[in-house]
Amino acid sequence: SLYFEKGEFPDLTDPFIRNLFNTFVCYSDIENHFPVKLNQKTDERGSFIETIRMNSGGQGSFSTTKPGITRGNHFHTRKAERFAVIKGKALIQLRRIGTDKVMIFELDGKEPAYVDMPIWYTHNITNVGNDELYTIFWINEFFVPADPDTYFEKV
């Protein structure tokens, strides 16, 4: 599939297709697939890193995280989400709701990479480095405060 081969998201605007895709990802081999290294092009001007290919809209965000800080500890029931670490060192943890098994992914901005967050997996990201962590987040829908689809649960 283009998702596993190239990291491309299908068009997720139709709720039925979105739900099928999210279910498919939940039952994939998450532990052995992630993190996926991003293609980094570097020259005398600096670096260019493509973080996501999608056939639907959504919302992209950029964050900085101070050393030792954890973001997240929540899960979603319908949102497809990607965390791409661009600079710094991060520890991403995932745990399927109703289980005790925690998957741990270590990412380093020296080799930019991403991890996708399956639905019904509580997740977090921690800056485990000494410098600020730069992360790009993508989610398949806009954040709506009245309908956040975000449920607190510690990993």
10-31, pLDDT tens digit by residue? 999 999 999 999 999 999 999 9
21-58, pLDDT tens digit by residue? 999 999 999 999 999 999 888 888 888 888 888 887 88
Please provide the CATH number assigned to the domain covering 2-152.
2.60.120.10
pLDDT at 19: 96
76-79, Cβ contacts within 8 angstroms, sequence gap of 24 or more: 76/117, 76/119, 76/120, 76/149, 76/150, 76/151, 77/119, 77/120, 77/149, 77/151, 78/15, 78/18, 78/19, 78/22, 78/119, 78/141, 78/149, 79/119, 79/139, 79/140, 79/141, 79/149
Structural domain spans, the chain: 2-152
The answer, yes or no, to whether residue 8 has pLDDT greater than 80, is yes
pLDDT at 104: 99
79-126, pLDDT tens digit by residue? 999 999 999 999 999 999 999 999 999 999 999 999 999 999 999 999
